[in-house]
């Protein structure tokens, strides 16, 4: 179907549009996933810290 990798990447002259679209989708999904993971780590750390301090004070 494609005549080599160069033909595939060229997308019949529509490379900027096709890769600009798929690239943005990949970037957004990756960013959303990484940001949520960071929030998750921070929330878990905050709650664990809180659990430790309440355990030592009581």
Q: CA 42 to CA 44: how far, in whole Å? A: 5
- Torsion (CA) 44, 48, 50, 53 in degrees, nearest 10: -160
Q: Are 42 and 36 in contact (CB under 8 A)?
A: no
**36 counts as binding another protein under rule CB under 8 A:** yes
CB of 1 to another protein, least distance (A): 6
Of residues 3, 4, 6, 21, which one binds another protein by CB under 8 A? 21
Given the rule CB under 8 A, which residues bind another protein?
1-2, 8, 11-14, 16-18, 20-22, 24-25, 28-29, 32-33, 36, 39-40, 43-48, 50-51, 54
């Amino acid at each position: 179907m494609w005549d080599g990798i160069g033909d595939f990447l060229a997308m019949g002259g529509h490379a900027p549009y096709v890769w600009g679209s798929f690239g943005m989708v990949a970037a957004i999904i990756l960013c959303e996933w990484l940001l949520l993971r960071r929030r998750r780590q921070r929330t878990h750390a905050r709650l664990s810290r809180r659990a430790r301090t309440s355990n030592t004070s009581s």
